[in-house]
């Protein structure tokens, strides 16, 4: 039943009044009554590996704050991101829809002219309609032209870097404007934490949604002096401990304001670790491979959900995914699902409360954010063939593969192909994948237009012409710059 989680001890009269006022004064500052509506805080890490937290197996350092949430909340062991790369993963989280549905096949760069379509309904839009104050702190990565920025997608406030922290022109934006052109990434986690806790304090008396999207643990890794050397295991561990500290600060602030029983906290990573970066990247072991692949290391991520006195405690082995948060948060917060919009996630509120199961135990892998490349159902996973991929500066090489059948419960590292051992199971899984793909619907062309190599082509062309001229005996001109008159 809708709104069944809301505290009936709180008088009901305020809600009708607040929503009437909200409806008649769309953008006016209306302080909605809480009426038991829980706050929602989503903390998203970038490129954090499945095994980077001590509660997920890391032994070199102890992430005590996240471990504490995991121990007292739901720690998912089989939780999947919507994509093995950044922009599509975020689009999936915020809309409950596979990024393939909106043409987000790659990541946005500072030179991108496109972004997530405005027609998409985000969690922020859904919650704002329910009187929530909404804020994003950190990495947006869904288009940085004004019409694609967070303020145009349901967020009341925005502070952060609008894309990845290795892309050129690192800036802090506030709202739709650049606030700072030269930023110190060493202070980034501290800065984001101050922004996030400030937002919580300013909105303690009303329902709010905070989307805290860290740029860490994406390379280049940065850490403040306070945490440098703290892990004794290199800068990646240091930054991870600082991120864990940040989570602790948010929890502490909620407790201090007596909001901990009123707040759902979700922590997850956007995709698997950047293995090519070696000690500067995370680890997904025992999962196979990492970021950008449809092996488990690419999309199976740490995910912890905590709501004091509401959620069950301990490890949960249910298959679930990032697309589930939209319908699940709608259920907890009394939000409306967008009409005529096909969602890909399932409401997992009963899984979190310990009162029921997810609609199924299936997950579809979209390696290229375009079509289904692998499919999981229960313990089984079928993987379609892929050609070998030669590694480059940002990803390691990947072997070619035939059709692969694995049992993830017995072989978490996807080491043994059971395709020939269990032909009937393979056939059954291929049929499931096909059925899913056939019912997925139309996939639009990619709207992310990066890597068209035009600049590369032009530079190569320039070099070729110069070389050809040199071969004909034409000498390059001497330093003409010196002849310029310098203004005094």
**Residue numbers at the binding site for Ca ion (CB under 5 A):** 46-47, 86, 270-271
Q: Chain centroid to CA 110: how far?
A: 18
Q: Are the beta carbons of 83 and 292 closer than 8 angstroms?
A: no
Q: Which is nearer to Ca ion, 215 or 263 (CB)?
A: 215
Q: Which is nearer to Ca ion, 292 or 316 (CB)?
A: 292
**Phi and psi at residue 330, to the nearest 5°:** -60, -45
Total length of the chain: 488
Q: Which helix (H) or strand (E) holds 146?
A: none
Q: Which is nearer to Ca ion, 318 or 368 (CB)?
A: 368
**Phi and psi at residue 137, to the nearest 5°:** -120, 125
* Residues paired with 78 in a beta bridge: 319
Q: Which is nearer to Ca ion, 113 or 394 (CB)?
A: 394
Compute the radius of gyration of the chain from its Cα atoms.
24
What is the rounded distance in angstroms from the CA atom of residue 376 to the CA atom of residue 383?
Answer: 9
Residue of this chain nearest to Ca ion (CB atom) = 86
From residue 485, how far is each of 287, 339, 476, 479 by CA, in Å? Answer: 62, 65, 22, 14
Residue partners of 344: CB distance under 8 A and separation at least 6? 82, 92, 96, 97, 98, 101, 323
Q: Which is nearer to Ca ion, 87 or 193 (CB)?
A: 87
Q: Which is nearer to Ca ion, 270 or 331 (CB)?
A: 270
Q: Which is nearer to Ca ion, 154 or 282 (CB)?
A: 282
* Residues paired with 211 in a beta bridge: 42, 136
At its nearest, how many Å lie between Ca ion and the CB of residue 156? 25
Q: Are the beta carbons of 366 and 98 closer than 8 angstroms?
A: yes
- Tokens 């159902």 locate to 377
Question: Which residue in 76, 86, 97, 93 sits closest to 48, CA to CA?
Answer: 86
At its nearest, how many Å lie between Ca ion and the CB of residue 87? 9
Q: Which is nearer to Ca ion, 244 or 270 (CB)?
A: 270
Q: Are the beta carbons of 290 and 274 closer than 8 angstroms?
A: yes
Q: Which is nearer to Ca ion, 33 or 270 (CB)?
A: 270
Q: Which is nearer to Ca ion, 86 or 122 (CB)?
A: 86
Q: Are the beta carbons of 108 and 144 closer than 8 angstroms?
A: yes
At its nearest, how many Å lie between Ca ion and the CB of residue 86? 4
Bin 296: left if φ > 0, else alpha if -120 < ψ < 50, else beta. Answer: alpha
Q: Are the beta carbons of 307 and 265 closer than 8 angstroms?
A: yes
Q: Which is nearer to Ca ion, 270 or 289 (CB)?
A: 270
At its nearest, how many Å lie between Ca ion and the CB of residue 434? 30
Question: Which residue in 326, 333, 329, 309 sits closest to 15, CA to CA?
Answer: 333
At its nearest, how many Å lie between Ca ion and the CB of residue 326? 20
Q: Are the beta carbons of 337 and 327 closer than 8 angstroms?
A: yes
| CB atoms closer than 10 angstroms to residue 147 | 12
Pinpoint the alpha helices (H) of 315-453.
Answer: 325-333, 349-353, 423-439
**401 secondary structure, DSSP code:** B
- Tokens 């406030």 locate to 157
At its nearest, how many Å lie between Ca ion and the CB of residue 356? 32
Q: Which is nearer to Ca ion, 6 or 217 (CB)?
A: 217
At its nearest, how many Å lie between Ca ion and the CB of residue 292? 9
Question: Which residue in 308, 354, 325, 317 sits closest to 72, CA to CA?
Answer: 308
At its nearest, how many Å lie between Ca ion and the CB of residue 270? 4
At its nearest, how many Å lie between Ca ion and the CB of residue 213? 10
Packing angle, helices 235-256 and 188-202, rounded to 10? 10
At its nearest, how many Å lie between Ca ion and the CB of residue 61? 21
At its nearest, how many Å lie between Ca ion and the CB of residue 48? 9
């Amino acid at each position: 039943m809708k709104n069944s989680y809301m505290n009936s001890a709180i008088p009901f009269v305020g809600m009708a009044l607040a929503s009437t006022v909200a409806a008649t004064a769309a953008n006016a500052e209306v302080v909605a009554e809480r009426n038991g509506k829980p706050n929602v805080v989503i903390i998203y890490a970038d490129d954090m590996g499945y095994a980077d937290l001590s509660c997920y197996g890391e032994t070199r350092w102890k992430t005590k704050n996240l471990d504490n949430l995991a121990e007292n909340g739901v720690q998912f062991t089989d939780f999947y991101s919507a994509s093995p790369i950044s922009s599509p993963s975020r689009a999936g989280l915020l809309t409950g829809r596979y990024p393939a549905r909106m043409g987000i096949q790659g990541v946005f760069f500072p030179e991108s002219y496109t972004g997530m379509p405005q027609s998409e309904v985000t969690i922020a839009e859904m919650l704002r309609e329910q009187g929530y104050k909404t804020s994003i702190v950190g990495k947006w990565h869904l288009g940085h032209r004004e019409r694609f920025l967070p303020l145009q997608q349901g967020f009341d406030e925005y502070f952060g870097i609008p894309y990845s922290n290795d892309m050129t022109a690192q800036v802090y934006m506030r709202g739709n404007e650049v606030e700072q052109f030269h930023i110190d990434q060493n202070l980034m986690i501290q800065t984001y934490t101050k922004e996030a806790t400030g937002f919580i304090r300013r909105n303690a008396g009303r329902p709010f949604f905070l989307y805290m999207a860290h740029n860490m643990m994406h390379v280049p890794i940065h850490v403040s002096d306070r945490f440098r050397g703290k892990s004794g295991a290199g800068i990646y561990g240091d930054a991870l401990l600082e991120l864990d500290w940040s989570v602790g600060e948010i929890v502490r602030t909620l407790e201090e304001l007596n909001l901990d029983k009123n707040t759902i906290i979700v922590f997850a990573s956007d995709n698997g670790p950047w293995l090519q970066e070696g000690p500067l990247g995370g680890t997904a072991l025992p999962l196979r491979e990492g970021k950008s692949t449809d092996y488990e290391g690419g999309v199976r991520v740490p995910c912890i959900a905590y709501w004091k006195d509401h959620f069950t405690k301990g490890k949960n082995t249910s298959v679930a995914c990032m697309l589930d948060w939209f319908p699940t948060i709608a259920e907890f917060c009394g939000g409306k699902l967008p009409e005529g919009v096909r969602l890909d996630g399932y409401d997992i509120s009963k899984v979190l409360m310990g009162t029921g199961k997810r609609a199924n135990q299936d997950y579809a892998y979209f390696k290229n954010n375009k079509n289904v490349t692998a499919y999981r159902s229960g313990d089984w996973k079928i993987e379609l063939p892929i050609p070998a991929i030669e590694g480059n500066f940002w990803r390691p090489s990947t072997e070619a593969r035939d059709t692969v059948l694995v049992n993830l419960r017995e072989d978490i590292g996807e080491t043994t192909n059971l395709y020939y051992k269990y032909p009937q199971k393979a056939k059954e899984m291929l049929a499931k994948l096909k059925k899913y793909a056939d019912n997925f619907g139309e996939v639009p062309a990619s709207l992310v237009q990066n890597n068209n190599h035009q600049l590369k082509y032009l530079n190569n062309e320039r070099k070729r012409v110069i070389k050809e001229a040199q071969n004909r005996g034409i000498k390059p001109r001497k330093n003409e710059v010196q002849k310029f008159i310098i203004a005094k």
